Structure formats: structure tokens, C-alpha cells
Structure 1
Amino acid sequence: MSTALAVRSSTESKNITVILQKNDLFEELVALTDRIRQRAFGFFQNRGASRGNDLEDWFKAESELLQQVPVEMSETDEAYTVRAEVPGFDAKNLTVRAGQNSICIHGKKEQKKDKETEYTEVSSQEFCRCIDLPLAIDPNKVSAHLDNGVLKLDLQKVAPAKKLEAKAA
């Protein structure tokens, strides 16, 4: 089940896809891990297949393929607010997955190469940031706003069940 949320933007209004179930998140993370693995293996081969730098190769591949996304989270009694810096990403490049106790922000841009370009370095065109939340939220009440490269998510907490006290007659 997916719902597109309206995005308030300083320039134009677009949609960020908010997915309420995380069934396909696992497949996306497996594919992302596979791309990192392939790039790390390329570093290994370029070194002449010498062993001993596996972790260094992995981190180098990860830093080339994934962009770091700083986040800031604040909380009130009713909601969480998450701000993520996603400069260069449009609303159409962003997907937010809302679960009951977590939120995942995924951004991916297609990198276009000119036919005349002879050499280019790999640049970060993708990120995935998952945040575990201390208390449950209502995935149906997530709002997303993108303004000047800052994604703001408002996450409504699930209302705690009211305690009923038994009164003696």
C-alpha cells in the first residue's frame, strides 16, 4: 500500500511517495548491498587481488556510492519531527517508508553521462537512512515537506490506550 503525500516546496509542488509497508525495503537494501559489494570487489581486483584490505575496500565503495544524510529529530508529546538534509534531490527522487516503529528515507538520482565525456568519477547519487523510533507512530499520519534541500517529516505518535478504572458500586 502506498500513498503519495503533497509536498510544500518553495518553487513548485510535487509528491514524495510514502510507503506504509516495508515489504520491498529488504529487496532494495539487498540490491544496494550488492552494488557496494561489486564496487569493493573492483577495488580488490585493482590492487592485484591482494588480501588484507577488505574492510577498507568496503568503506571506500560505500562512501562512493552512498551520500551521507545528516538528520535532526525532535519530539513533542504528540509527534516526532525529522529534518534531513537532502541537497540536490527533488521530491520525485525521494521515497519515505513508514513503519510503526521506524522511518526510512531513500533517495536516488539517475546519473546521466554525456557521450563526449571521456572520464568521470563515481559520485554519490543515492542514500538510505533508517531511523528507529522509541515510540510507535501512525504510518497513515506521516506528512512530508521538501524546502530548499531539507526534507521535513511530521510523524504522529499513536495515542496511548486510555486506562479505565473500575469503580465499586
Structure 2
Amino acid sequence: MSSNPTTNIESTPGPKITQSPEETFYERVQDLYDAVAQRAFEIFEASGAIHGQDFDHWLEAESEFLNPMPLEIDETDTAFVVRAEVPGFSEDDIEIIVEPRRLFITAAREEVGEEEEESAEMPESEASFEEVLRSLDLASEVDPSQVMATLNDGILEITLIKQAGQKADRPAEAA
């Protein structure tokens, strides 16, 4: 194992696992936040610029950019096992970031489809982008260097080994 905290922990094939977020992760989250904020403002303007619906506008905008990622969390005395539904994503699309008390799961892919235009003989390519992002606060500290992840049939399973002597001080919370 390397001492560089942003190297892939698991040497076997699978989703990319890092011990701390890379700068690009934070940039991606900031870009996503900015896009949601811009879209929420557009929805606000389109609804007559009437105040009082800010939260609804934000949720509507967010739903246009992010898809839900259902999680299931099992906890034992020694580990957390997190299962996330990520249908349609490959191992190369997924990034897992582990901190002692937090887990981030991101997946992004670009889909290219073909759409026929009525006036043209040639098909026009249309690209769409799908992204999921999930954060999970952990109830006790885990060892970021002891993480295993597998992807089978659209289910991502992540095993996080607890630090020695750690007991949960609260239940794990998905954000």
C-alpha cells in the first residue's frame, strides 16, 4: 500500500477507491452545486419570480441533475457493509472516497444516443450525462486503507473495516 492518500487502495479490478477526496471531486461537487443553483433560479423566474418557493425550486432543479441512489447499510462489531444501487454504471464510472467517519460514492457516465431529424438523412448524435452522488456519515471510525468494493448486477457493495476498538456512538446516516 502506498503512503499517498489518493492512490487506489484495492489493487484488484473494481471501482476506484481513495482515502481522501481529490481536488477534482470537490470541483465536480462545486460545479454540480452551481448548476443546480442556476437551474433553481431559472425555475424561480419561470414561475413569476414569486418568493416563498425557494426550497421547492431547489429540489426540482436538483432532481434534474441527480438521480437517487438507494443505500442499504449493515453494521457488525467489526465492519460496515454498504450496498448501493447503481444500475447502468460500470466499475470505471464509479469512485469511492473514504474518510475515517465519512463515505462518498460518485458515479458519472455520458450516454450517446442517436436521434433522427425529420429534415436530415444523417442521424444526429445526442449526448446526455448521468451522475449520482451520495454521502454517508459513519457511526464509528473506519480504516480508510481497509476498504473492499465489488460491483455485481448494478449493486455496489462496499465493506469498510472499523478501526480497532471502535463502537458506534450513533447510527450511520445517509445524506
Shorter-chain TM band: 0.7 to 0.9
Q: Cα–Cα, structure 1 residues 158 and 146, in superposed 2: closer, same or farther, change >3 Å?
A: same
The runs of 5 or more residues in structure 2 that have no matched partner are: 1-5, 119-127, 167-175
Please report how far the alpha carbon of residue 153 of structure 1 lies from its aligned counterpart in structure 2 after TM superposition. Answer: 0.1
Higher-Rg member (1/2): 1
Q: 1:28 to 1:49 in 2, by over 3 A?
A: same
Report the counterpart of residue 138 of structure 1 in structure 2: 143
**Counterparts in 2 of 1:82 and 1:117: CA distance versus 1, 3 Å:** farther
Residues in 2 aligned to 1:124 and 1:111: alpha-carbon distance in whole angstroms? 6
CA RMSD of aligned residues (A): 2.4
Q: 1:40: how far off?
A: 1.4
CA 1:47–1:117 in 2, change beyond 3 Å: closer, same or farther? farther
Q: TM-score, normalised by structure 2?
A: 0.76
Aligned 8 A contact 1:19 1:96 in 2 = yes
**Distance (Å, rounded) in 2 between the aligned partners of 1:91 and 1:111:** 16
Alignment check: 8 A CA contact 1:67 1:124 kept? no
Q: CA deviation at 1:146?
A: 0.3
Alignment TM-score, normalising by the size of structure 1: 0.78
| Structure 1 unmatched ranges of 5 or more | 8-13, 162-169
Q: Deviations over 1:78-104 (max 9, x none)?
A: 111000011111111111000011111
Deviation at 1:150, TM superposition (A): 0.3
- Cα distance in 2 for partners of 1:154, 1:15 equals 13
Alignment of 1:62-81 (within 5 A): 62-81=62-81
Residues 21-71 of structure 1, C-alpha deviation per residue, up to 9 Å, x if partnerless? Answer: 135343332221111112212223333444443222211111111111110
- Whichever residue aligns with residue 108 of structure 1, its letter is A
Alignment partners' CA distance in 1, 2:147 and 2:73: 14
Q: Note the 1:1-169 alignment, pairs <5 A.
A: 1-3=6-8, 5=10, 14-24=13-23, 25-112=25-112, 114=114, 116=116, 125-160=130-165
Instruction: For 1:105, give the aligned amino acid.
Output: I
